[in-house]
Amino acid sequence: MAGLFGSLTIATSGLTAARTGLDVTGQNIANVNTTGYVRRRMDLAEIAPNASMQAGRGVEVLQIRALRDHYLETQLAREQGGRASDETTLAGLRGVDAMIGLPGESLDVQITSFFDAFSLLASDVTSAPAREGVVRAGQALGDAFNALSTRLTDAQAVHNQSIVAAVSEFNSLATRVAQLNARIVTGGVDVEALRDERTTALAGMAELANISLIERPDGAVDVTVSSGHALVVGANAYPVTATPEPPSGFVSLHLADFDVTGKVTGGRIGALIDLRDTTIPSYQAAVDRLAYDIATQVNAVHATGVDSQGGAGGPFFTPPASVTGAAATLSVSATVAADAGMVAASGTAAAGDNQVARAIAALRESRVMSGGSATAAEAWANIAYQVGSDISAAQASLGTREQIVKQLQRLRDQQSGVSFDEEAANLIRYQRSYEASARYFTTILDTLDSLMAMVR
């Protein structure tokens, strides 16, 4: 249709486009702080003329597009998962660091005191207080090992509880992704908003575990763990179950009948599993080894001695049944604990013979621990070094990951983020467009009035 009424249609389309542009700008500004929100852009198209000598028929809003970059979002989610894993690892290791303590405030004090006590006894082998001192120092050493072992076991239990909580959160997110898949596939005007929400949910899942995403042609996203086991297929979510396993009661993770505990290697859950099943047990094993070595080495020397009653020396420490659990059970034998006279400090029945006390005191500087490669203090220092070294590695990894995440966030924001400056410019532009269209509209109306006046 040509003529002035056609011009009014052009003006109306301009007003509609400008108002829609203002709405898109407002929506972008309103969601500047919304997690997962991707900025929207209005795509306009000229309405072509349908007759010769016609300028055109105005403008139409083709679509409101979400400026989403799937590659960057997937990369960002993966790196954020890695960052969450590093953060969790670092937090767990810092907990162990606190248990280890500083030099002069850690197990090294009890180790030194223990050998000091035997050294004092060697200097005055008939001294009853010196004998009592040896027993007390042995008990203090045992208590320190017991406490450290308990703290490490408790840390494992805490991480186990965190795994259970994280799995629950993971399942909730998987369910939400499945629900969103269903609605996205159905289609509708709010698909982009649903995609935003799904992106946030998927990022949450990636922070919890290493997942793989497969985008389907219908818009749904399937989620699997790295082993290929499905967590979400279209509108269906398959929950991960956390099943307590004897004897520790620590949970294993299952997807249907498959044990996927070892497959979850990333995200917070992966880090928690690693802390619970690998990292802390390795420290526990090293502490057990040290406790076992101290007990067996001291006992071996002690057994060659003679107690204050002239009897053959028994074990000073209760003999550990095995390396595993030695730290948790290290204690002075009941016989010695009940009577310090049972400390076999002598090599013969002579009261002044201090050979065995000297030999045990000399263990302080003997490299008979850790398979003959370290003294007791060195073995302990090696454990502290290992913890510190692991923390340093985790810190470095986290630092690198932070930079990668920041860089990816910048790249994503360049594509999908809301810029106040840009939106402010758009605001003015659409406002001016609206004002111009309105002015054009009134001009046409005035023209029509002039035309009608001619008729009158």
Partner 1 sequence: MRILFDPIRDGLSAIETASSQFATAQQQVASGKRLAGAGDDPLAMQQAIGERATIGALDAYSRANQSAASRLAAIDSVLSGMTDKLTAVSVAGMSARGDHVTPTARAAAAAEVRSLRDALLADVNSSFQGSYLFAGTHVDRVPYADSGGTWTYQGNADVTRVDIERGRSVAVTVDGQRIVQGSDAEDLFTVLDNLATAIENADGAAIQTGLDSVERAFVRTQHALGSLGADERNLDDLASRLSTLRRAAETRRSTLEDVNVAEAITRLGQADTSYRAALAAVSTAERQSLLDYLR
Tell me which residues touch partner 1 (CB under 8 A): 93-94, 97-98, 100, 102-104, 106, 108, 111-112, 115-116, 119-120, 122-126, 346, 348, 350-354, 358, 361-362, 364-365, 375, 377-378, 380-382, 384-389, 391-392, 395, 406, 409-410, 413-415, 417, 419-422, 424-425, 427-428
Q: At 32, give phi and psi (nearest 5°).
A: -60, -30
Angle at 136 between CA 134 and CA 137, to 5 degrees: 65
| Closer of 217 and 352 to partner 1 (Cβ) | 352
Q: Which helix or strand (DSSP H or E) is residue 251 part of?
A: strand 250-255
| Closer of 136 and 229 to partner 1 (Cβ) | 136
Taking the complex as a whole, the smallest distance from the CB of residue 237 to partner 1 amounts, in Å, to 32
Between CA 339 and CA 29 the distance in angstroms is 80
| Closer of 27 and 419 to partner 1 (Cβ) | 419
Taking the complex as a whole, the smallest distance from the CB of residue 354 to partner 1 amounts, in Å, to 6
Taking the complex as a whole, the smallest distance from the CB of residue 202 to partner 1 amounts, in Å, to 21
- The candidate with the shortest Cα–Cα distance to 84, out of 156, 166, 160, 198, is 166
Question: How far is CA 387 from each of CA 92, 99, 141, 376, rounded to the nearest angstrom?
Answer: 11, 10, 21, 17
Q: Which helix or strand (DSSP H or E) is residue 412 part of?
A: helix 376-416
Query: Which three-class secondary structure string do you get for 300-322?
Result: HHHCCCECCCCCECCCCECCCCC
Taking the complex as a whole, the smallest distance from the CB of residue 86 to partner 1 amounts, in Å, to 13
Angle at 127 between CA 124 and CA 131, to 5 degrees: 100
| Closer of 269 and 343 to partner 1 (Cβ) | 343
| Closer of 112 and 236 to partner 1 (Cβ) | 112
Taking the complex as a whole, the smallest distance from the CB of residue 94 to partner 1 amounts, in Å, to 7
Length of the chain, in residues: 456
Taking the complex as a whole, the smallest distance from the CB of residue 417 to partner 1 amounts, in Å, to 4
| Closer of 87 and 169 to partner 1 (Cβ) | 87
Question: How far is CA 5 from each of CA 1, 128, 202, 314, 441, rounded to the nearest angstrom?
Answer: 8, 117, 51, 113, 10
